[in-house]
């Protein structure tokens, strides 16, 4: 099933998936059916790229709120593809560079991919690659034009490429024509009460009788915020209780958990 | 007829039409009367350029939705013209270049054409050549001014030139005065139910009794999206069925086809 | 009369009018009274520059729709002036140059003119010289400031200069103060039914009984579009009939002419 | 009186007033009481600069429609001041220069003036010096900041300076704070019927009985346009009559004059 | 308790906290419960970073009116963390530098932090680091993109980092997506009447019977403004009384205090 | 009293107050109670800087209409401070320089001040230092960011600094956050009828019986405009009477004074 698939992956011959592994520090817990569906569909696209003659290039966009798990999901698909060339393009490795240098690095990744028979490229946080900021709005048109062409250009004969983009600014990408460029787009959702409950059960930091109450108050929270909240609550009111809680000796006090929720949701 | 004309073409003396051939990887299937009409009219313009004394320069714009088949059509006209110089100008070969370099390359193509007695130049995806993005909007005025002059400048005495432009941003081109510059403009349509049915019949991946239902649900889809959809559906629900389907041994399950349609049309 | 005057011109001593001749490839046919009036008034200004002591600089703007014949008219006045220095400044010879280089070339033309006792400078397609594009709008303020000063600066003592500008963006020029700078402005009209009939008669490609019907449907068409339309229609429905028609052996089929009109007017 | 004062001026010791003389090619005719009043007030300011101890810097702006005679008036005041340093700063001598070079030349003129005990600087067509264009609007802030400081900076001890600016874009100057910077501002009017009649009488190109009718139709015309109109009309309908008219042998036919008026006022 | 905690801090091994000490020149007086709460929560986050395995990066934003004490509070948390690397990034040490140099210095601070097992970085006055100005608005997108990535990038394995930002332009930061990037955000309030009274009592410059009246009129004043006001009032109406007041020999005359309040609140 | 205080000032040891003296060419006459109050308060701030331990940096903004006397007042406070380092930063000494050079010069002045135990810096005409123009609006963000930091940065231990800014564009400064940065802001008023009468009495150019009438018509005039007006009126209608009037032999004719008022208030 979904979770097992995630965990039995072994990094493929040649493809350095270290960068991708760093995108899912907490491992991958089961986040509910909607996340699972996206994973499965993305893996079908991977197969399509592999076997099809008519689709040498397939592009797929994962969009959703900040911290909803897009990067972790894209990294997982890349790792699970077992393709010889799997690469993540991220603003983190290009901090402070000039847009033309960033552009050159992005082109390089695509040209490396064109030399491998099967490749996956993850374009992580596309709005950040584009240096997007909503005021103005401003962004690098140089990089944006480069991506618009790269996302449409067929790899050379006999080579196959899957590109997975992630973004939390889908409206922006839509407005500059990126969404039409991707073959398919999936919305990665925040956790609803059911999803959250499932996650909390796996984390095992609440007393059984508190889990429902805890899940109930969260209300459509992205998974990253949930992890932050658990960590905060695990310190206890006076600090010092984290170790006991994560080793399972103690449980988080539900009233303190509600307290911490205030800080995270914005006082 | 139209399809035959498309297939009996043999690349002419000197003109390297490799780049043009890459624009129609799937070959050219019959997309219905409206596509055929545009092809025929464009071929008449080709003849006009060849025989006329008063029209040393004829320019023609193909506009339509993304993926509606404009580039494939323009490439086909270029190939079928049998002219000694046929060239496609595309952003794909100019990725990441500075606008002035792009400009110089475009000018070079026109000057090469001026040395041939008969030439066709395809300006593919003009909005991409102009580095257009709708926010702002931004675009390269350097390239845009260059094209505005090149599209009006007569070739030297005794030389004849046909320019075919393609674009999916006709409103933008209209607003910067490009549409008035072209002698004629044709709208390349998406496939209506009849067109789609014709295409599906040629592809032969559905059971005969499913074709009508499949064509019915598509509703004005560009040909590229239709191809993507067929490929996705051909993988089957669990993957692995593509080969059987494309070799004609199996047919696409119509219910799975409807399922895939959701992903492509945007969930 | 007007047409005779146009044809009996012989290029003057020294002034290279080749560039100007290229602006009227089809020769000059009679386009009706309104065109003739503008030609006559412009020739009077030529005389004023020649004889007057108080008008060492006269500037005249020809504005009108794209393809209405402005450049051909300006070139004709320049040729007919018989002045020793007649020069056309056109974006066609400055493609892809930097705005400061364009600027320098324009200044050079004026300074050359200041050395001749009598000069005509045609500033063709001023919006193109200014690299104007309606989005923004954008244009070169460097070139625009240069022209604003050149169009007001008196030539040195004893020298006389006439400047004829052409534009199809008169509203833009108005809004940046160019119209007030020109001494006089003339509107070059599109062809009305009467004008068009006159032109069609001279071209002799329709059966006599079809001319009225053909002229009727055109409705205020610029002369360039009319020429394009005639050429298209002359190919015939299946191609191949152009030679017979232009040699007068056959006539254009009026129904096919109506058909072609659809393409040109925009489907 | 006013006119005599204008004509008995003899260029002063050292001050090169050639540039200033070129600003009034037609000489100075009497344009009516309102022009005269401005001339007299400006001459009083000249005296104030000369004799006062508290006003080492006096600045005066002449604004009015294009061609209303501002530059001619400013030049006349400069010439009539009899000051040892009189200089006109005009965009005509700085065509095509970079804004920083223009800036340097303007500063140079002020620094030269600071070395003379008494100076007049004419800043002609300030909007042109600022490279102003109404679209945007755009202008050189470098030059504008430079002028804003220069127009307020006191000359060194013992030196006196009068600055006369001219502009036909007073609203623009107002909006960037230039009007508040000038000590006084005068509006140079177009000619009303009385003024025009006075001018026409002095020019002596109409039959006596036609002058009233001619003046009547003009309606608030700037003097430059009036001169242009007279020159045009003087050519006669068929050309060739200019010499006879300016030598006084013939008069302008009033009907032809009305005809020419159409061209100048904009058809 | 809060105040004691603040004062018993001893600068830790290696971490140069001089820069941080300069941020609280007046020492730290008790500003009321709301300030205390923020301090305590921030100290819990410090502990979380130290002990947790899942939170190698915690980011916290302090926002509030100008002069409300944000920088002093952030500095205090940094000092009290006892972490080996504690650093304040402030525009004061980067005056007049080019944005790319500023960018490089900021990146350097983060990279230094990545080498220490436990670090606190204070990003002081983020809007000033971003060169923000509300007109336009303008700001450095280079620096803003850099921070957006740095605030999300995990430190290398085994390293832990806490980032504390301060800002008085929270709406701006919100609008460019900075607020979502911070794990938690606290609003540092201005002093209400109770807080102000507490501060005034500690400062001991009023007669006991005047304190209530003085606190009453202040109405939600930031602590910096309160200090300025006290200093002004302490000079006395004729000057000269400051020493007596701060040494406790005299008290501030309440009527003069009211007088000074006018100047500070804006006449 | 106020006036005496102004006049008994003797330039202090080391501080070159020449630049400051040039800011009050006419000397300082009594402009009424409101001007006097601002002077006194500013002098108290000077004392505060000198004696206080908690206020090493005090900043004060003088804002008001153009010509209302802000610069003269700031210069006077600087001179009267008797501080060893007193410096005026003015756009007049930085004409035509690049913004980064201006920036460097401003920083230099502050760094010089940091070396003196007690300093006054006058930032004259801040909008001009910022190269502000209301269209756009445009201004140098480089200089504005530099000032925003300099106005907040504490001088090194033991050094004290007072900064006095002047501006006639207080709304602009407000909108870019400058007003909040200054500790106190004073509005320097135009002269009301009482103030004007006081000034006119001191100037002694009117007959006693005309002073009331003259003051009455002025209506809230800035002092600079009043001086200009007096100078103009003193020339007399025909010129030549200035000496007699300023030496007290004659008086200004009140009717001519009213006449001149028209020119200054804007015809
Ligand atoms: N299925 C999962 N199981 C466990 N942890 C997860 C899972 N998905 C995401 N996470 C964790 O949640 C955090 C946020 O996930 P991730 O970075 O993928 O979100 P994102 O949507 O890419 O966020 P952003 O919009 O900021 O880029 C990460 O720490 C990640 O390791
Ligand atoms: N008549 C046809 N028969 C078969 N395949 C076609 C036909 N026309 C287009 N295609 C295929 O459909 C896809 C899209 O066509 P094409 O690239 O020409 O569309 P386009 O309108 O230029 O798209 P875009 O707007 O993205 O530039 C291509 O893979 C092309 O090979
Ligand atoms: N009187 C005429 N007789 C014959 N042909 C003409 C005449 N006037 C113009 N033409 C032809 O019509 C075409 C358009 O004319 P021209 O280039 O002068 O128009 P234009 O108004 O300058 O167009 P644009 O607005 O594009 O610059 C040219 O091919 C020209 O040779
Ligand atoms: N009083 C006058 N007598 C005779 N000619 C005059 C007089 N005033 C102006 N002119 C002439 O009228 C024309 C326009 O005058 P001028 O250039 O001074 O106008 P302007 O207001 O400066 O125009 P612009 O707004 O274009 O700068 C010039 O040819 C000038 O010689
Ligand atoms: N708790 C406190 N006790 C004593 N003084 C304080 C306290 N908090 C702040 N101050 C003092 O108040 C002044 C303003 O504080 P601080 O600079 O921290 O405010 P800020 O919110 O960072 O202001 P800004 O918005 O301008 O950056 C400083 O002089 C600081 O030393
Ligand atoms: N109290 C005064 N007594 C005499 N003259 C004064 C007085 N105040 C100002 N002036 C004079 O009035 C004129 C304008 O004063 P000042 O330059 O200080 O005004 P400002 O407000 O700085 O003007 P701006 O807004 O243009 O900078 C100067 O000539 C100055 O010498
Ligand atoms: Mg992500
Ligand atoms: Mg295409
Ligand atoms: Mg033309
Ligand atoms: Mg002028
Ligand atoms: Mg702060
Ligand atoms: Mg001032």
pLDDT digit string (tens) for C36-49? 999 999 999 999 99
Rounded mean pLDDT of chain C? Answer: 92
Of E187, E214, E244, which residue sits at a domain end? Answer: E187
Is residue E56 located within the same domain as residue E120? yes
In this prediction, residue B14 carries a pLDDT of: 41
Is residue D167 located within the same domain as residue D69? yes
Is residue B257 located within the same domain as residue B166? no
Strand order in the sheet with E160-167: E85-89, E118-123, E160-167, E57-63, E184-187
Is residue F82 located within the same domain as residue F40? yes
| Ligand 5, atom nearest to F152 Cα | 26
In chain B, the N- to C-terminal Cα span, in Å, equals 40
Quick check: D106 and D146 in contact, CB under 8 A?
A: yes
Is residue B202 located within the same domain as residue B175? no
Is residue F175 located within the same domain as residue F107? yes
Size of interface D-F (CB pairs under 8 A): 77
A neighbour chains, 3+ CB pairs within 8 Å: B, E
In three-state secondary structure terms, D121 is strand
In this prediction, residue A3 carries a pLDDT of: 39
Give the nearest partner residue to A131 out of E45, E145, E153, using CB atoms: E145
DSSP secondary structure, C36-59, as one string? HHHHHHHHHHHHHHHH-SS-SEEE
Instruction: Name the residue among F33, A185, E7 with its Cα closest to residue B228.
Output: A185
Give the nearest partner residue to B138 out of A53, A141, A154, using CB atoms: A141
| Ligand 5, atom nearest to E188 Cα | 21
**d(Cα A172, Cα A133) in Å, to the nearest integer?**
10
pLDDT tens, position by position, C156-196: 999 999 999 999 999 999 999 999 999 999 999 999 999 99
- To test the contact with chain E by mutation, choose from A75, A242, A261, A265 the residue with the greatest count of E C-beta atoms within 10 A, namely A242
- Say if ligand 5 is within 6 A of residue E78 CB: no
In this prediction, residue A17 carries a pLDDT of: 77
CATH of residue D43: 3.40.50.300
Q: How confident is the model at residue A134 (pLDDT cuts 50, 70, 90)?
A: very high
Cα-Cα-Cα-Cα dihedral sign, residues C232, C234, C238, C243: negative
In this prediction, residue E54 carries a pLDDT of: 83
> Does B4 score more than 50 pLDDT?
no
> Which residue positions in chain D have pLDDT lower than 70?
1-16, 266-267
In three-state secondary structure terms, D175 is helix
Residue of B nearest to C238 (CA): B44
Of E144, E164, E187, which residue sits at a domain end? Answer: E187
Nearest CA to ligand 5 atom 22: E71
What is the nearest CA distance from B153 to chain A, expressed in angstroms? 28
* Contact (CB<8Å) C54/D231: yes
- The number of folded domains in chain F is 2
| DSSP secondary structure code for residue B22 in this structure | G
In this prediction, residue F8 carries a pLDDT of: 39
Residue of D nearest to C149 (CA): D92
Site to probe by mutation for ligand 6, drawn from F30, F63, F71 as the one with most ligand atoms within 8 Å of Cβ, is: F71
In three-state secondary structure terms, D146 is helix
pLDDT tens, position by position, A72-130: 999 999 999 999 999 999 999 999 999 999 999 999 999 999 999 999 999 999 999 99
- Whole-complex ipTM: 0.93
Q: What's the Cα-to-Cα distance from F186 to each of A264, B20, E234, F28, F170, rounded to whole Å?
A: 43, 74, 20, 19, 11
- Say if ligand 2 is within 6 A of residue B74 CB: no
F143-169 b/e with 16+ CB inside 10 Å = b? bbbbbbbbbbbbbeeebbbbbbbbbbb
Give the nearest partner residue to B135 out of A51, A137, A184, using CB atoms: A137
Considering every ligand atom shown, identify the ligand nearest to the alpha carbon of residue A28 and give its number: 1
Is residue A92 located within the same domain as residue A206? no
Q: How confident is the model at residue C219 (pLDDT cuts 50, 70, 90)?
A: confident
SS3 content of chain E, % helix, strand, coil (to 5): 50, 15, 35
Helices and strands counted in chain B (H then E): 14, 5
pLDDT tens, position by position, A49-75: 999 888 899 999 999 999 999 999 999
In this prediction, residue A16 carries a pLDDT of: 64
Residue of B nearest to A47 (CA): B239
Is residue D199 located within the same domain as residue D182? no
How remote is the CA of residue D154 from the centroid of ligand 11, in Å? 41
Q: Which residues of A touch E (CB under 8 A)?
A: 22, 25-26, 66, 91-92, 95-96, 128, 131, 133-135, 138, 227-228, 231-232, 234-235, 239-240, 242-243, 246, 263-264, 266-267
Is residue F122 located within the same domain as residue F23? yes
* Contact (CB<8Å) F177/E133: yes
- Say if ligand 2 is within 6 A of residue B31 CB: yes
Q: How confident is the model at residue E4 (pLDDT cuts 50, 70, 90)?
A: very low
pLDDT tens, position by position, C112-132: 999 999 999 999 999 999 999
In this prediction, residue F16 carries a pLDDT of: 64
- Paired residues of A167 in beta bridges: A63
**Token digits of residue A143:** 């990089």
* Contact (CB<8Å) A235/E44: yes
> Does F53 score more than 90 pLDDT?
no
Is residue E206 located within the same domain as residue E76? no
Q: How confident is the model at residue A5 (pLDDT cuts 50, 70, 90)?
A: very low
In this prediction, residue C10 carries a pLDDT of: 39
- Say if ligand 5 is within 6 A of residue E7 CB: no
As a whole number, mean pLDDT of residues E182-192 equals: 96
DSSP secondary structure, C104-151, as one string? HHHHHHHHHHHTSSEEEEEE-SHHHHTT-BTTTTB--HHHHHHHHHHT
Residues of C in contact with D138 (CB under 8 A): 141
Which residues have CB under 8 Å from E96's CB, separation 6+?
Answer: F100, F103, F104, F107, F142, F146
What is the nearest CA distance from E110 to chain A, expressed in angstroms? 12
Phi and psi dihedrals of B97, rounded to 5? -75, 155
Give the nearest partner residue to D176 out of F135, F232, F234, using CB atoms: F135
- Say if ligand 3 is within 6 A of residue C221 CB: no
> Does F135 score more than 50 pLDDT?
yes
Is residue B197 located within the same domain as residue B177? no
Site to probe by mutation for ligand 2, drawn from B1, B72, B126, B229 as the one with most ligand atoms within 8 Å of Cβ, is: B72
| Ligand 3, atom nearest to C28 Cα | 3
Q: How confident is the model at residue F45 (pLDDT cuts 50, 70, 90)?
A: very high
- Say if ligand 2 is within 6 A of residue B167 CB: no
In this prediction, residue A26 carries a pLDDT of: 84
pLDDT tens, position by position, A217-237: 998 999 999 999 999 999 998
In this prediction, residue E261 carries a pLDDT of: 94
As a whole number, mean pLDDT of residues C201-230 equals: 94
- Say if ligand 3 is within 6 A of residue C17 CB: no
> Does A1 score more than 80 pLDDT?
no
- Paired residues of F62 in beta bridges: F166, F186
- Say if ligand 5 is within 6 A of residue E124 CB: no
> Which of the residue ranges D58-62, D77-81, F16-20, F31-35 would you say has the lowest mean pLDDT?
F16-20
Higher pLDDT, D259 or C13: D259
In this prediction, residue A219 carries a pLDDT of: 85
In this prediction, residue A142 carries a pLDDT of: 97
* Contact (CB<8Å) F51/E235: yes
Residues of D in contact with F92 (CB under 8 A): 149, 152-153
* Contact (CB<8Å) E187/A267: yes
What is the nearest CA distance from F93 to chain E, expressed in angstroms? 19
> Does B13 score more than 50 pLDDT?
no
As a whole number, mean pLDDT of residues E228-232 equals: 94
The domain of E255 spans 193-265
CA dihedral of residues D137, D140, D144, D147 (deg, nearest 10)? -140
**d(Cα F57, Cα B170) in Å, to the nearest integer?**
61
Longest dimension (CA), chain A: 64
Nearest CA to ligand 5 atom 23: E67
In this prediction, residue D16 carries a pLDDT of: 64
* Contact (CB<8Å) D103/F92: no
Size of interface A-E (CB pairs under 8 A): 77
Per the listing, tokens 């028209």 go with: F262
Of C159, C187, C215, which residue sits at a domain end? Answer: C187
- Say if ligand 5 is within 6 A of residue E190 CB: no
Size of interface C-D (CB pairs under 8 A): 79
In this prediction, residue C2 carries a pLDDT of: 41
How remote is the CA of residue E165 from the centroid of ligand 11, in Å? 10
- To test the contact with chain C by mutation, choose from B145, B146, B159 the residue with the greatest count of C C-beta atoms within 10 A, namely B145
Query: Residue B105 half-sphere exposure, CB side, CA atoms within 13 Å?
Result: 17
Is residue D127 located within the same domain as residue D202? no
Q: Which residues of A touch B (CB under 8 A)?
A: 41, 43-45, 47-48, 51-55, 100, 103-104, 107, 137, 139, 141-142, 144-146, 148-150, 152-154, 172, 175-177, 179-181, 183-187
Nearest CA to ligand 3 atom 4: C28
């Amino acid at each position: 099933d979904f979770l097992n698939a995630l965990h039995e992956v072994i990094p493929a011959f040649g493809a350095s998936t270290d960068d991708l592994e760093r995108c899912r520090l907490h491992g991958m817990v089961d986040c509910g059916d909607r996340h699972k569906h996206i994973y499965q569909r993305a893996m079908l696209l991977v197969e399509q790229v592999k076997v099809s003659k008519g689709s040498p290039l397939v592009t797929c966009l994962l969009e959703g709120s900040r911290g909803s798990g897009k990067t972790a999901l894209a990294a997982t698909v890349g790792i699970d593809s077992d393709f010889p060339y799997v690469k993540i393009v991220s603003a983190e490795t290009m901090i402070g560079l000039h847009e033309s240098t960033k552009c050159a690095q992005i082109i390089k990744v695509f040209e490396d991919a064109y030399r491998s028979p099967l490749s996956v490229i993850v374009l992580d946080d596309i709005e950040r690659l584009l240096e997007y900021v909503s005021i103005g709005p401003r962004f690098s048109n140089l990089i944006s034009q480069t991506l618009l062409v790269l996302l449409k250009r067929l790899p050379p004969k006999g080579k196959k490429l899957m590109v997975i983009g992630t973004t939390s600014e889908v409206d922006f990408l839509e407005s500059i024509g990126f969404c039409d460029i991707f073959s398919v787009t999936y919305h990665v959702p925040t956790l609803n009460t059911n999803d959250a409950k499932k996650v909390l059960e796996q984390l095992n930091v609440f007393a059984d009788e508190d889990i429902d109450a805890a899940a109930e108050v969260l209300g459509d929270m992205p998974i990253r915020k949930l992890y932050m909240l658990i960590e905060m609550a695990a310190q206890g009111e006076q600090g010092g209780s984290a170790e006991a809680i994560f080793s399972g000796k103690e449980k988080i006090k539900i009233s303190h958990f509600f307290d911490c929720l205030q800080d995270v949701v914005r006082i």
